[in-house]
Amino acid sequence: MKTEEILTLLREKIYELKKKKELNFKEIIKHETNFRGKKGVLEYPGCYVIYEKEKPIYVGSAGKGKHVLKYRMGDLFFYSPQARDSKFKHTLTNKLLTHKEHKRFSKIDEVRDFYLNSCSVKVIETDTVEQARLIESALILKLNPKYNA
């Protein structure tokens, strides 16, 4: 991609984000059963911004291989007590439960409740994971979300 194409893409996608409706996690996650993404929802690569009330708290992206946005949203709710490396698949969940400077909760159920009842998400569809990562980086710089630090 040429520089002007990159700048045009960023302008278009950031404008698109402003116009997007915020989604409640209950709309995209099977919260009554297994906390995975619902079928037919967010089945594409892209970038996402998680909001607590009106404030952006985290920016991320998805799309590598078959790991599209719906799977990344499900990762927020994942917990595996027997995992060797990290019990959590998502950076934000890990920070909210374990990091000294960001810890807010002591149990995964509290984090799940936080996502389902206090947070929303906006998503931007992209053609490739590279575009998603580029937009993610630009949005982190622009929005300065608390948990991307």
Residues 12-28 pLDDT 10s: 999 999 999 999 999 99
Name every residue whose Cβ is closer than 8 Å to that of residue 2 and which is 6 or more positions away in sequence.
Answer: none
Q: Taking residues 54-62, what's their average pLDDT?
A: 96
d(CA 109, CA 18): 31
d(CA 39, CA 20): 21
Scan for tokens 């998805």, then name that residue.
62
What integer best gives the mean pLDDT of the chain?
Answer: 93
pLDDT of residue 146: 95
Write out the two tokens for 74: 């499900």
pLDDT of residue 43: 94
Q: Taking residues 86-113, what's their average pLDDT?
A: 91
Scan for tokens 């927020």, then name that residue.
76
pTM: 0.94
Task: Find the DSSP H helices in the chain.
Answer: 3-19, 25-28, 69-75, 91-98, 108-118, 129-143
CB neighbourhood size of 116 (10 A): 15
d(CA 28, CA 41): 6
pLDDT band at 80 (very low <50, low <70, confident <90, very high): confident
Rg of the chain over Cα atoms, rounded to whole angstroms, equals 15
Q: Are 72 and 90 in contact (CB under 8 A)?
A: yes
Closest CA to 107 of 81, 137, 133: 81
pLDDT band at 81 (very low <50, low <70, confident <90, very high): confident
